[in-house]
Amino acid sequence: MAHLLGHRGCMESLRADLRDLQAAIADVSSRAGAVRFPSWKFPDRVSCDLDMSVLLQRYRHSDSEPEFSQHAHVVLLELLIDRLLLLLQSFTGYAEMLLSGRAVPPARGLGPCMSAGLTARTFWSAMLKLGAFCQQLRDQEKDCRQEIPTQQPTRPSAPRAGKSEKEHLKFCLPDVLESRTAPAAAQSTSVCPCPSVHVLGSSQPRAGPSLVQSTRSVPTQTSGPPPGSCDTCSSARASLQEVGRAITSICQSQNIPSALSKFQEVLEDSAGRRSLSATDLSYWASEQSKDLSRINKHLQGLLQQVNPVRAELEEMGRQKEKLQREVEEFSRKLQAEKDTQAEQQRKAEQSLNAKDKEHSEAVARLERDKDDLRRGTGLLGHGRCVSPELSKTTLLEEMRTTMVARSQVLELEEKVQVLTGQRDSLEQELSATSVQLEKEKVRVQSISQHEESLQAKQRTLLQQLDSLAQEREELQASLGQAEEDKAQLGEQLEQSQEQSRKQLQAQQASASRLEEQARELRKRERLLVFFPDLHIPTETQFESSGNLTEDMESQLQANNIRIEVLQRENAQLEALLAKVKAAAEQGVLKVSWVPLGKARTRVSTARWQGHSQPLAGTQPDPGRDTAGPWHGHPGPGWAPVPPVPPGSCGTGPGTQHSYRSRRP
């Protein structure tokens, strides 16, 4: 294709296409109004204000300048792209006017600088909306023809479909949004109906049903409201929401579809009822990762667009420097040539002036000689008496002088003609050089304008790149904050685990201590078993260690234990007696006496449960000894026997005195 660059036929075809496109743009603008967007070729000018006739007159084929023809061919291609984009923007404005139902096109301000891809996507979005509107009108017309006024259109419009999709998403997410407020004994919930939602013929499933299928089957067994979250969790969730809002705003500014925005809308509708749950956070993270991948892909696409333009700008910069050097070199050569030609012209003029002066002098001399000859002829006629030899010599001398003068005059005339021809040729060369210089000036001006347009494009792309880089830094900062919060939560988790481990060690130490106490209690119980009451029958056999001192010490230890137990039981009986007296004074106590010689009182309004207080009632349970004998402790336990007489402690097993355990 390189050999076609600058071809006359290709350039004429491009010029015809540009004229046809300009006519089509004028037709669309007459119906929809002129759209005002920056030009793709000249970003500092409005696209609809470009004078195509002037541009087509400036950039045309030139047989004498192939390089300028190639440059003009490239400019025509760029103008073709510019006109096509303006035509797409005009189509978009006409479609929006049809959708808005306005008869007169509205006044439009200057729009943003749009790339070719963004213009095409905007036009396609407008065509989709217009197609949906036409489909809705067709369905309504079909319904009217069938004379069924109550039947709804088969396919809703795009805004209604979006609204139904939002309501469907809210309906399909009750467990995700209200999982913390479910009752403790919640039954298994059935999966909500999730019909497939189709908008404008789209067959892609929405995110709502998939979320319901993944989260609906999780039962909740928490009772009551959830416990209050800590400050770290609240700050982490707040930072996550800030990051989500930033991602959504970036997607909206760059016209990128956002999967997180719909979920945010649902959460904002229910934000006053509860805080985010773990399921919400997991789904939030998945949707956020999708949006981040889309933003990354869009950024890579922009970088792929910017890098070739940047390389092209660098190449154009190098070409510009090269052309500037060539122009400077050509200017120096042209100036030197001008100086040389001026010097030659000055010398030629001086020589011509000198020759003219010589010619004038020769002509004057010839005139004088001619006059002298005339006078000589007159004198010759009057003075024939002069010697003929003298007159002949004089005439020959005069003739010789005249011939020399004539030859000099002819030579001077030839030189004058030669110098005149040289002057004419120099003037022609000077005019040709001036024309070439003007062409070079036009070419340099065109290159400068092209360079300015490229610089404007570069500035626009650099601004977009800077904004994206700034947004990326903000996202990275938010992500770093989230990572710090995550690390802080991990540290808190480790600290809680360390505390749990310390508590477990303390509990293990307490358990070992309790086991030691249990062993001591078993030892005491064994002592009580080995050394029972003092007054026992003599025929009862006891296990003895064989050492009287050790047996007496063991008996003494057992008696001390029994004394401690009886003291505790006495304290309990004193407290119980005080409560019984207080109840008797209030008249709520009923005391009954049990016959058969067992002096036991049963309190109908008090019942023992461990060390709890007595409860009011009517009659006690006859099968349970609630109070025990008044000289013992309540319930099953030890009962005291008559005291041991002093001095009755013997040395054998039959003379040992102790307490006897009486079990019911």
Is residue 406 located within the same domain as residue 522? yes
Q: 470-501, pLDDT tens digit by residue?
A: 888 889 888 888 888 888 888 998 998 999 99
d(CA 87, CA 109): 17
Please give the structure tokens belonging to residue 464.
């977009």
pLDDT band at 252 (very low <50, low <70, confident <90, very high): confident
For the ranges 84-88, 237-241, 614-618, the one whose mean pLDDT is highest: 84-88
Higher pLDDT, 169 or 316: 316
Say if residue 580's pLDDT is above 60.
Answer: yes
- Span of 19-28, 107-116, 165-174, 280-289 with lowest mean pLDDT: 165-174
Could you tell me the CA-to-CA distances from 58 to 51, 68, 269 in Å, in that order?
11, 11, 61
Is residue 491 located within the same domain as residue 572?
Answer: no
Q: Please give the residue range of the domain that contains residue 497.
A: 343-528
List Cα–Cα distances, 251 to 129, 247, 248, 477, 533, in angstroms.
20, 6, 5, 18, 91
Whether residues 605 and 512 fall in one domain: no
Domain membership of residue 522 (yes or no) is: yes
Boundary (domain end) residue, out of 145, 168, 197 = 145
418-428 pLDDT, tens digit per residue, is 888 888 888 88
Q: How far apart are CA 6 and CA 72, in angstroms?
A: 7
Of 269, 545, 318, 275, the closest CA to residue 451 belongs to 318
Does one domain contain both 58 and 15?
A: yes
Mean pLDDT value across residues 456-475 = 88
Query: Rounded CA gap, 139 and 156, in Å?
Result: 9
pLDDT of residue 578: 92
How confident is the model over 367-394, as pLDDT tens digits? 887 787 777 666 655 555 545 566 677 7
Burial of 652 (0-12, 13-18, 19+ CB in 10 A): exposed
Within this chain, do residues 467 and 553 fall inside the same structural domain, yes or no? no
pLDDT digits (tens, 9 = 90+) for 388-418: 566 677 777 777 787 887 787 788 888 888 8
Crossing angle for the helix pair 388-530 and 548-586, to the nearest 10 degrees: 100
For 592, the enclosing helix (H) or strand (E) is: strand 591-593
- For residues 518 and 590, state if they share a domain: no
- Residue 384 lies inside a defined structural domain of this protein: yes
580 and 443: one domain? no
Say what the pLDDT of residue 512 is. 93
Read off φ and ψ for residue 603, nearest 5 degrees.
Answer: -90, 120
- Domain shared by 617 and 648, yes or no: yes
| 76-127 confidence digits (pLDDT tens) | 898 999 989 999 988 888 888 888 877 656 667 787 888 888 889 988 998 9
3-state secondary structure of 160: helix
Tell me which residue of 421, 321, 311, 409 sits closest to 360, measured CA to CA: 409
Please tell me whether residues 557 and 523 are part of one structural domain. Answer: no
- Quote the pLDDT of residue 589: 62
Domain boundary among 528, 559, 583: 528
Among the candidates 145, 162, 187, a domain finishes at 145
Read off the tokens for 466: 């800077």
As a three-state string, the secondary structure of 639-651 is CCCCCCCCCCCCC
Report the range of poorest mean pLDDT among 10-14, 354-358, 376-380: 376-380
- Are residues 651 and 617 located together in one domain of the fold? yes
> Could you tell me if residue 33 is inside a domain?
yes
- Judge whether residue 217 has pLDDT over 60: no
Q: What is the mean pLDDT of residues 310-338?
A: 84
Shared-domain flag, residues 16 and 129: yes
Instruction: Tell me which of 597 and 112 has the higher pLDDT.
Output: 112
Question: How far apart, in whole angstroms, are the C-alpha atoms of residue 502 and residue 32?
Answer: 78
pTM above 0.95, yes or no: no
Q: Tell me the pLDDT of the chain averaged across its residues.
A: 71
Mean pLDDT value across residues 594-603? 41
The whole-number pLDDT of residue 504 equals 93
Per-residue pLDDT at 505 exceeds 90? yes
* pLDDT score, position 638: 40
Domain-located, residue 236: no
Confirm whether 644 is domain-assigned: yes
**Residue 465, domain member (yes or no):** yes
- Confidence (pLDDT) at 509: 93
Q: How many domains would you assign to the chain?
A: 3
Q: Do 522 and 552 share a domain, yes or no? A: no
